[in-house]
Amino acid sequence: MTTESLFYFLASLTLLCALLVVISKNPIHSVLFLIVTFFTISGHYVLLNAQFLAAVNIIVYAGAIMVLFLFVIMFLNQNQQVVSTPTLSKLAGAIAGGMLLVILVAGLKDANVTEHTPGNFNSQIGMVENLGQVLYTQYLLPFELASVLFLVAMVGAVFLGKKEVGEAHF
DSSP output for 89-142:
HHHHHHHHHHHHHHHHHHHHTT-------GGG--TTTTSHHHHHHHHHHTTHHH
| Complete DSSP assignment for 35-79 | HHHHHHHHHHHHHTT-HHHHHHIIIIIIIIIHHHHHHHHHHHTGG
Would the pLDDT of 20 be above 80? yes
Q: At 60, which amino acid appears?
A: V
pLDDT tens-digit series, residues 122-136: 766 667 788 788 888
Q: CA geometry: angle at 43 spanning 17 and 120, to 5°?
A: 135
Share of the chain above pLDDT 70, in %: 82
- 165 pLDDT more than 80: no
69-84: average pLDDT:
66
Amino acid 167: pLDDT: 61
